[in-house]
């Protein structure tokens, strides 16, 4: 079965001058539809019909044939039916007899080859004479009657999902069997529709449409490879979510190990797409074909990163101290530093990712008397430093309230429930809250671990005592006196007496707390997410440009 694709392309566009040749995301508009038609497996010949010499030249360069359109078919008021019929007859005169004729419009640059093949498949099946691409536009519509009065186009007001479907032609595809193509029509009696996605259906008719399409063409697929469970906490998942919330121009999905439902539940609660895998994550990523893979899984091995790069993915790693860090395209580490930084490795507080709620929260004035102490040890608190802190506070004199915030993965609930009745001081316990910034802002003093929460304390200038959960957290270089943090070291090795003494000192000494606050607020943490995204996407663009250059050199070498 012979399939002919006809692409009408006049040179006299009025809405957007010289639209078909105007550069869209680096290529002339007409390139996109020619490329889609040539990639479609079912199309045998691709013909551009035009009266414009420059369009003809560019079309040939991109692999299309050209039919010279006569002047009488090039006017503004000429419909496409006689134009397509003329192109078909010219091709038939050269000996090619099409069974199916497709009209494909350059103003549909996001049309996919698969959709073209789907239209051909329907026509080849013999059940339809014409196939038209549409988009679902079901809504409550109004019109104007003959008397100029507004009139609804619906019988009763219903939610969209209960209205009868209403479809709009996209202009992307009109396909017909050859016998129904005439100078007056391309539509047969037996007709069916194929529905396109919202993105694929965009038809460029204005400058705004052009801007939208350019954005969509620059859209990339971003995969966050991240997990959250009791041993490592949920900080990695929260950081990935923070970045995802800022990446509005790209398609986002999370690739997560099915063994760790804690993190999966957190991501799904934020309404992001989660792809669960078992065993090898590379297989899952390969099926998704992302442009960028962002790993927030601590130390990686070199074989894993090499496997991603061999598949053409741009690889970004967070807090990676393993051998895979040497293979990644970008490594970002806000917690730990390196005395000999490697190329494309970025360290320090300017790359921390504060959650959105901290950008609107402002530090409040520091009170002379401590009236509120906050205890929080992240999402899981594997060492149960919460209990250690509460016992120490119970020994400290003073009229202050204590709020204890537990994370989603806190697993020492039974121990805590036994401890609380034995304490003299009343403790308010809250769990898995959504307003952590407000808890930190209201506190006069905080006790926490040496992870990302330290940055959140610093952003709001809350004097903080730190006990590290593990040896890895001991490497957090920001959590020190220089930045206003009282770091007592590894929490399991901090004695109760030592913790009590430090708490008494800070409760009694307003000037020390004031100095801690000033040092915290001296560090700019509020531009950090923008810094991270800038590093990722600027490096990605350079990586893409370099790959394109290498591909051109290979093609040129083949030509020689």
What mean pLDDT is predicted for residues 472-476? 84
Q: Provide the pLDDT for residue 433.
A: 83
Q: Provide the pLDDT for residue 494.
A: 96
CB 334 within 8 A of CB 239: no
Greater confidence (162 vs 64) lies with: 64
Helix axes 302-310, 281-288, angle to 10 degrees: 20
C-beta atoms surrounding 435 within 10 Å: 12
Q: Provide the pLDDT for residue 550.
A: 85
DSSP assignment of 86-140, as one string?
HHHHHHHHTT---SEEEEE-TT-TT--HHHHHHHHHHHHTTS-SEEEEEEE--S-
> For residue 458, is pLDDT > 80?
yes
CB 226 within 8 A of CB 317: no
How many helices (H) and strands (E) are present in the chain, helices listed first? 17, 24
Q: Provide the pLDDT for residue 155.
A: 85
Q: Provide the pLDDT for residue 427.
A: 95
The pLDDT confidence band at residue 408, using thresholds 50, 70 and 90, is confident
DSSP assignment of 524-535, as one string?
--TTHHHHHHHH
What mean pLDDT is predicted for residues 448-464? 94
> For residue 558, is pLDDT > 80?
no
**Rounded-to-integer distance, Cα 389 and Cα 66, Å:** 79
Rg of the chain's alpha carbons, rounded to an integer?
32
The CA-atom distances, in angstroms, between 527 and each of 77, 248, 420, 554 are: 54, 17, 40, 41
What mean pLDDT is predicted for residues 352-375? 92
User: Which has the closest alpha carbon to 315: 334, 336, 331?
Assistant: 331
What mean pLDDT is predicted for residues 535-554? 89
Residue 517 token pair: 């606050």
User: Which has the closest alpha carbon to 506: 356, 368, 346, 314?
Assistant: 368
Residue 428 token pair: 């308010």
CB 106 within 8 A of CB 35: no
Assign domain 362-521 to a CATH class: alpha beta
Q: Provide the pLDDT for residue 538.
A: 95
Question: Where do the structural domains in the chain lie, given as residue ranges?
Answer: 3-205, 219-351, 362-521
Q: Over the stretch 499-536, which tens digit does the pLDDT of each residue have? A: 999 999 999 999 999 999 999 999 989 888 999 999 99
Percent of the chain past pLDDT 70, that is, above it, reads: 98
Q: Over the stretch 182-202, which tens digit does the pLDDT of each residue have? A: 999 999 999 999 999 998 999
Q: Which residues contact 387 (CB under 8 A, 6 or more apart)?
A: 412, 415, 416, 419
What mean pLDDT is predicted for residues 81-96? 96
Secondary structure of residue 324 in the 3-state scheme: helix
Q: Provide the pLDDT for residue 296.
A: 96
What mean pLDDT is predicted for residues 8-25? 88
293-299-304 Cα angle (round to 5): 50
User: Which has the closest alpha carbon to 236: 291, 180, 173, 300?
Assistant: 300
> For residue 160, is pLDDT > 90?
no
Residue 500 token pair: 């009590």
The residue to which tokens 């350019």 are assigned: 214
Q: Provide the pLDDT for residue 225.
A: 98
Q: Provide the pLDDT for residue 51.
A: 94
Q: Provide the pLDDT for residue 559.
A: 57
CA terminus-to-terminus distance, the chain: 36
The pLDDT confidence band at residue 334, using thresholds 50, 70 and 90, is confident
The pLDDT confidence band at residue 443, using thresholds 50, 70 and 90, is very high
Percent of the chain past pLDDT 90, that is, above it, reads: 78
Q: Provide the pLDDT for residue 339.
A: 65
Indicate if 362-521 has the same CATH topology as 3-205.
Answer: no
**Rounded-to-integer distance, Cα 278 and Cα 293, Å:** 18
Q: Over the stretch 241-287, which tens digit does the pLDDT of each residue have? A: 999 999 988 999 999 999 999 999 999 999 999 999 999 999 999 99
**Rounded-to-integer distance, Cα 76 and Cα 93, Å:** 27
Assign domain 219-351 to a CATH class: alpha beta
Fold held by 3-205 = Spore Coat Polysaccharide Biosynthesis Protein SpsA; Chain A (3.90.550)
Residue 244 token pair: 């995802």
Q: Provide the pLDDT for residue 234.
A: 82
Alpha helices (H) in 151-301, listed in sequence order = 207-217, 235-246, 261-269, 281-288
């Amino acid at each position: 079965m012979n399939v002919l694709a006809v692409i009408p392309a006049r040179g006299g566009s009025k809405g957007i001058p010289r639209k078909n040749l105007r550069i869209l995301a680096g290529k002339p508009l007409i390139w996109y539809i020619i490329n889609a038609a040539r990639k479609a497996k079912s199309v045998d010949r691709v013909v551009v019909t035009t009266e414009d010499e420059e369009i003809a030249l560019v079309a040939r360069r991109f692999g299309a044939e050209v039919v010279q359109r006569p002047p009488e078919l090039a006017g503004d008021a000429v419909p496409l039916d006689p134009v397509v019929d003329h192109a078909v007859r010219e091709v038939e005169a050269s000996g090619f007899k099409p069974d199916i004729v497709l009209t494909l419009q350059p103003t549909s640059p996001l049309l996919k080859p698969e959709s073209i093949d789907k239209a051909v498949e329907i026509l080849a099946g013999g059940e339809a004479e014409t196939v038209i691409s549409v988009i679902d536009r079901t809504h409550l519509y109004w019109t104007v009657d003959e008397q100029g009065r507004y009139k609804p186009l619906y019988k009763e007001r219903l939610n969209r999902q209960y209205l009868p479907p209403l479809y709009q032609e996209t202009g992307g595809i009109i396909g017909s069997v050859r016998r129904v193509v005439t100078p007056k029509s391309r539509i047969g009696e037996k007709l069916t529709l194929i529905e396109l996605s919202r993105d694929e259906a965009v038809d460029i008719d204005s400058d705004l449409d052009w801007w939208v399409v350019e954005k969509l063409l620059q859209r990339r697929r971003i995969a966050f490879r991240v997990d959250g469970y009791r041993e490592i906490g949920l900080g990695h998942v929260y950081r990935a979510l923070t970045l995802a919330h800022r990446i509005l121009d790209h398609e986002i999905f999370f690739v997560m190990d099915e063994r760790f439902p804690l993190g999966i539940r957190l991501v799904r609660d934020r309404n992001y797409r989660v792809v669960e895998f078992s065993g090898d994550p590379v297989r899952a990523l390969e099926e998704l074909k992302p442009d960028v893979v962002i790993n927030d899984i601590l130390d990686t091995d070199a074989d894993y990163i090499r496997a991603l790069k061999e598949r053409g993915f741009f690889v970004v790693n967070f807090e990676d101290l393993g051998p895979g860090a040497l293979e990644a395209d970008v490594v970002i580490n806000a917690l730990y530093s390196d005395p000999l930084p490697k190329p494309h490795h970025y360290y320090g507080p300017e790359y921390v990712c504060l959650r959105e709620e901290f950008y609107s929260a402002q530090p409040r004035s520091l009170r002379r008397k401590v009236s509120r102490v906050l205890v929080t040890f992240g999402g899981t608190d594997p060492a149960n430093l919460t209990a250690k802190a509460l016992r120490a506070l119970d020994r400290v004199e003073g009229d202050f309230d204590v709020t204890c915030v537990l994370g989603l993965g806190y697993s020492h609930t039974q121990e805590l429930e036994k401890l609380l009745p034995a304490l003299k001081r009343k403790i308010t316990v809250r769990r898995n809250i959504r307003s952590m910034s407000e808890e930190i802002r209201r506190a006069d003093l905080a006790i926490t671990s040496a992870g990302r929460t330290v940055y959140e304390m610093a952003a709001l200038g809350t004097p903080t005592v730190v006990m590290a959960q593990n040896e890895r957290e001991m490497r957090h270089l920001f959590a020190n006196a220089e930045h206003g943090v009282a770091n007592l070291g590894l929490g399991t090795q901090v004695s109760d007496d030592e913790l009590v003494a430090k708490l008494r000192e800070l409760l009694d000494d307003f000037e020390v707390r004031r100095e801690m606050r000033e040092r915290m607020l001296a560090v700019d943490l509020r531009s950090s997410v923008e810094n991270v995204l800038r590093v990722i996407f600027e490096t990605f663009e350079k990586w893409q440009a370099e790959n394109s250059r290498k591909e051109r050199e290979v093609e040129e070498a083949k030509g020689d």
